[in-house]
Structure 1
Amino acid sequence: MTRTRRSAASRLFVAMLLSAVAVAALTAVLLIWDGQRTTRAEAERVTQAVAQTLALSPTVASALSDGDDAAASDALQPVATRVMSEARVDFVTIMDARGIRVTHRDPDEIGRPYVGTIPTEPTQLTEESTGTLGRSLRTIVPIEADGRLVGWVSVGVTLDTVSAQILPRLLVAIGVGGIVLAAGIIGAALARRATRRVAGDLPAGAIRDTLSSAESLRTLGEALRAQTHEHGNRMHAAVALLELGRTDEAVGILTDSAEQSQLLVDQVTAYTAGDPTVGALLLGKASQALERGIAWEASIAPDAPPSTLAPIDAVALVGNLIDNALDAAAAGPPPRWVRVQMRRTDEDELALHVSDSGASPTDEVRARMFERGFTTKPAGAEGRGVGLALVRAVVEDVGGTITVDVDPTTFRVILPTEDA
C-alpha cells in the first residue's frame, strides 16, 4: 500500500497548529490558576479586614464585656446581619471568651459552641475549615476590652462562594485562550499559504533534495570553472611561447599540465567503487585549490566502499565540506592546505575526513555551525549559512554521523554502506 507523503506546507501547518493549541491551553491554564490564587487571596483579605474591624469596634467590645450573652446577642445579631450583607461575607460569628456563639447566620445556632479552631493565645488566625455552613475560608480575631480577652469574632466565606467568584475569571481565561488559538490558526494558515506559494505541494524531503541538487550544481560548476580557467591559462601561455619560438618551454608547460592532471585522474580512478560524479568533483576542486594558492592533498583508499547516498547528495556533502575548508584555509596564514581522505572503517562504513589549515572554530561557532542560517562569512551569496546545515541534513537522512575536531579543523563523517 502506497503512503502519501504530506507536503511541506501541510506539515508546517500541522506543526504550527499544534504549537498554537499548546500555547492556548497553557495560557488558559495559567490564567485559571492565577484567577484561583487571586480570588482566594482576595477572600482571605476580606475576612481579615472585616474581622479586625469588628474586633476593634467599641460596640462589640462593650456588648461582650458585661458577660451577659443574651444581651450581647440582642445587641450584636443585627450588627452581624448588616455586616454580612454589606461586606458580602457568608457568616459573621461573634462569641464570648469561652467560644459560645452570641451571633450566627442561623439564629438557632446562637448559644452553641463555635465550630472551628480557637487559638490558645489571643492572636489572629486565618484557616480553611469545615463548619455548620460547610467548607470555608475564615479568620478569627480576639476581642479585648481594658486589656482582657472578652470574646472572639470569626468572619468567613464558603468555598462555594469563592468558586462562584472564580467563574468570571474562568470565562476570561477561556476567551483569552480562544483568541490565542485563533491567532495561531490564522498564522499557521498564512505560513502554509506562503510555503505552498514557494514550494507547491512538494514534501519536505523533495525540498531538501531540490536544495541539495542546487548546491551540487553550484559546487560542481565552481569546480569545473576553476579547472577550465587553469587549463585555459596554461594553453594561453603555451600558445604565446610557441609564437615567440620558445618551443621547449611551451612543451614543458603542456607536459607538466598533463602530468598533474593525470596524477589527479589516477588518484581518483583508483577509487573504483566510488561515485564518478564525486571523482569529477574532486578533480575540479583540486584545480580550484590550485587557483587559490592552496596545497591540495587527496587520499582515497582503493577499497573505500560506496556510501548509500544518492550522487546528488554525495556531491552536496563532499562539495560543501571542501568549499568550507577552502574558504577557511584561504582566510588563514600560510602554509595553506586542504586534505581529503576517504577510507573503509573496521565496520565496513565509509569514513570521509576533510581537514584544513584555517583557524579553528570557537566553541560557540562549533555549537551553532550546523544551524540553518548561521554563518561567520559576510552577508551575501557566499554567506547564506546553508552549506553545513545541508551537510548535516544529508548525513542524518541516511543515518550517518558528523563530528568536528580542532587543531587542525577536521570534519569527520561516517556514512553507512551496503557492505555494512
Structure 2
Amino acid sequence: MFILFTSGLLTAQTWRSATAPPSGDNRGMTRWSIAKRFFIGQLSFILLLAIVGSVALVIDAADRIDRETRERMLTLSTSVALNPFVIDAVQTAHPSELLQPYAESLMDAANADFITIMDTHRIRYTHRNRDMIGGRFEGNITPALHGQAFTEIHNGSLGPTVRGIVPITSSDGTVIAIVSSGVTVSNVNLAVNARLPLVAAVAATLILVGALISLGLSRYLRRVTYGRGPEQISQMYAFYDAVLHSIGEGMLLVNPQGELVLYNTQAAELLGLPPMKPEAPPLPLRTADLPAELGELLAGGTSVDSEVVLTPSRVLLVTQRPARASGTGGRAASLGTVAIIRDRTDMQRLSGELDSMHTLADALRSQTHEHSNRLHTIVTLIELGRGDEALRFATHEVEQGQILTDRVVNAVGEPALSALLVGKTAQASERGVSLIIVSDGVVPPHGISAHDAVTIMGNLIDNALDAAARTVEEGAETHTPEERWVEVVLISTATELTISVLDSGLGLQGLRPEELWARGFSTKQDAGQGRGIGLALVRQTARSIGGTITVEDSEETVAGARFTVTVPFHAANRPSDQDEAR
C-alpha cells in the first residue's frame, strides 16, 4: 500500500511539473510533442487506475474477510450453544471443570482466539487465560439476554476482537448462559495482508501492460506527427492554409485511392469545383466534374512538367509530382500526388496575337526588302531616261498591293482580322503558296472577339500553309505556286460567321477527325514543345463561344483538308457606345 501510494504521489508531482505554466526559458509542456504528452497522460492514468483499483481490492478483501470472520464466529458460538453437553454443563454446580477442557480443545480445532462461556451475570466459565475464569465478561450481552444472536467488535482483555455472541437456552427457552467466540483483529489483518501480494501483482501487471501499450501508441503518434506538439501543428496548419489559398496557382492533392483530398480556391475556380470544406470527405475523381484529360492525368499519378490541358474555356499547364512522407529506414510512404495548375489562357491568346504580329513584321520586312529592289529599279529606269516605263512599273506595284489591301479591308471590318489576313498573304507568298481569300458579306467590327478570331483563323491558316508547303518536301508533284494554294472563305450573315480554310495538301492521310482534336497531336516532323495545340485551341475557342467545327478530307474536297468553323455573332461582342465613339 505504501509503495502504491508513493507511486501515486510521484505521478501527481510529475504531472504538475509537466503542466506548469511557462516561466523564463522553460516553456514546459508547450514544447512537448503530442506523443510525449499522450504517453505521460496515459501512464499517469494507468498508475492512478492501478492505485484506485488496488485500494478498492484491499478494501473489498478486508470487508469480505471481516464478514466471513463474523459469520464463522457466529456459527461457532451457535454450535456451542446448541451442544447438549454445554447445556447440561452450565446447569451443574461447577461448570468450569467440565467446560474449560472442552473450550480449549475447540479453540484449537476451530482456530479461534477465545471461546468464553458465561452465566447471565457475565461470570466467565471458560477463557483462553485460565486466570481470567471467574471474572466478568467485557462486552455487550444485552441482545443475547433477550434471546438474540449477534456479532460485534470490542476491545476486551485480548485486545480488539471480532465476536459472535449467542444465548444458551434450556428446553423451555429460558436463557441460562451465554457463549462468545472470537478472533483478534490483528489476526484478521493478517488474513487481509495475505491478499496484498495478489493485489500488488495485479496492479503491477496492469501498469506494465498499460505502459507497453502507451509506449506503442506514443511511438505511432511520434511517427505520424513527426514529433511535433499540438501548438506546432496548429501553427503549421494556419500557415499552410494561408499559403494554400493565397498563391495564384491551383493546387490539388490526390490520395493513392484516386480521391481529391485537398485543393485550394484557385484550383476550384479554374476547374469549376465546389469550394473545399475542411470537414468534407474526399472527392472521388470519377465523380468530380473534371476535363477527361485532366482526370486521366490525375488518376495516373505520373510525373509531368508543364503539361498542357484544355478545358472548355481555359488552357491550363499542369505539373504533377508524387507526394511522399519520410519514413524510418530511408523508406518513404506514398501519400498520393500533388498537382500544380497554372492558367495559360490569356498567355496563349497573347501568344497567338504575338505570332500574328511576327507574321506582319516578317511581311513588312519582306516587303521592305522587295520595295528597296523595286525602288532601285525605278531609279535606274529614270536615270536611263525611261520615265514612262518607271511610272508604269511603280503604278502597277502600287495598284497590286492596294487591290489586295482594299479587298481584305472591305470584306473584313475587324482590324485585327484584316491585318492577320494581309500578313498571312505576304507570308504565303514567301513560302511559295498562293493564299486565296473569298468573302461573302462583310465581317462587322466587333462581331466576333479579336482574340477568338485571331486564334481560330491564325491556327487554321498556319496549318493549311504548312500542309500546302509540305507537298514539296514529301515528294508530291505539286511544285509551282499556282498548284500550292490555300483558300480562305469568309461567309458573314446577320447572325453568324463561317470560316472555311481549304489547302492543296495531302489531306488527313487516313487519320480520324477525333485524332486531330487531341492536344499534342501534330503531323509535323519537328513537333516538339508547343506543337500539337493549334487545332485543339481552335476547337476549344469555337466551342467556348457557341460555335462548331467540322473537317472534310480529300475524298470530299478533291484537294486537301477543309476545316470549317461557324461562330455566332454575340451581342456581348458588339462594340459598346464608348467603343463606337472612339
Q: Where does residue 510 of structure 2 map in the other structure? A: none
State whether structure 2 residue 413 is matched by structure 1 residue 107: no
Q: For the Cα contact (< 8 Å) 1:73–1:103, is it kept in 2?
A: yes
Identity %: 27
After superposition, where does 1:116-131 map in structure 2 within 5 Å?
Answer: 116-119=139-142, 120-131=145-156
**C-alpha contact (below 8 Å) 2:545/2:567 kept by paired residues:** no
Alignment of 1:69-108 (within 5 A): 71-108=94-131
RMSD: 2.6
Partner SS, residue 544 of structure 2: helix
Residue 227 (1) aligns with residue 265 (2)? no
Establish whether residue 39 from structure 1 lines up as the match of residue 65 from structure 2.
yes
Deviation at 1:45, TM superposition (A): 0.9
Give CA-to-partner distance per residue, 1:196-216, whole Å, 9 cap, x none: 222232222223445556767
Deviation at 1:34, TM superposition (A): 0.5
Give the alignment partner of residue 132 of structure 1, picking from 157, 161, 171. Answer: 157
**Contact 1:241–1:250 (8 Å) recurs in 2:** no
* 1:20-419 equivalent positions in 2, closer than 5 A: 20-66=46-92, 68=93, 71-119=94-142, 120-147=145-172, 148-210=174-236, 217=244, 221-230=263-272, 232-234=311-313, 236=540, 237-241=543-547, 243-248=565-570, 251=573
- How far does the alpha carbon of each residue in 1:153-190 deviate from its partner, in whole angstroms, 9 at most, with x for none? 00111111111111011222122111111112111211
Inter-CA distance 62–220: structure 2 relative to 1 (3 Å threshold): closer
TM-score (norm 2): 0.40
Contact 1:241 1:249 in 2 (8 A): no
After superposition, the Cα gap between the structure-2 partners of 1:149 and 1:230, relative to the gap in structure 1 and judged at 3 Å, is closer
Per-residue CA deviations over 1:97-150 (Å, capped at 9, x if unaligned) read 322100000101111111111124121121111111111111110001222222
Measured against aligned partners, the alpha-carbon deviations of 1:303-337 in whole angstroms (never above 9, x if no partner) come to xxxxxxxxxxxxxxxxxxxxxxxxxxxxxxxxxxx
When normalised by structure 1's length, the TM-score is 0.55
Cα gap change, 1:214/1:90 in structure 2, threshold over 3 Å: closer, same or farther? Answer: farther
Q: Distance in 2 between matches of 1:56 and 1:112?
A: 24
Residue 201 of structure 2 aligns to which amino acid in structure 1? Answer: G
Q: Distance in 2 between the 1:135 and 1:110 partners?
A: 19
Rounded Cα–Cα distance in structure 1 between residues aligned with 2:272 and 2:140: 97
The residue type paired with residue 45 of structure 1 is: E
Corresponding residue for residue 271 of structure 1: none
- The 1:55/1:215 distance shift into structure 2, 3 A limit, reads farther
Provide the secondary structure at the position in 2 that maps to 1:155: strand
Contact kept in structure 1, 2:151 and 2:162, CA below 8 Å: yes
Unaligned runs of at least 5 residues, structure 1 = 256-420
Q: CA deviation at 1:47?
A: 0.5
CA shift, 1:86, in A, is: 1.2
**Offset of 1:233 from its aligned partner?**
4.0
Q: Secondary structure at the match of 2:186?
A: helix
1:157 maps to a residue whose letter is: V
Q: Is the 8 A contact 1:80 1:92 kept in 2?
A: yes
Aligned residues, how many?
Answer: 250
| Alpha-carbon distance in 2 for matches of 1:221, 1:198 | 22
Q: Kindly tell me: are residues 230 and 181 of structure 1, through their superposed partners in 2, closer, same or farther at Cα, counting changes over 3 Å?
A: closer
239 and 35 in structure 1: CA distance in 2 versus 1, 3 angstrom threshold: same
How far apart in 2 are the matches of 1:184 and 1:238? 65
Give a deviation string over 1:16-47, Cα, whole Å, max 9, x none. 11111111111111111111101101110110
Aligned residue type for 2:181 = V
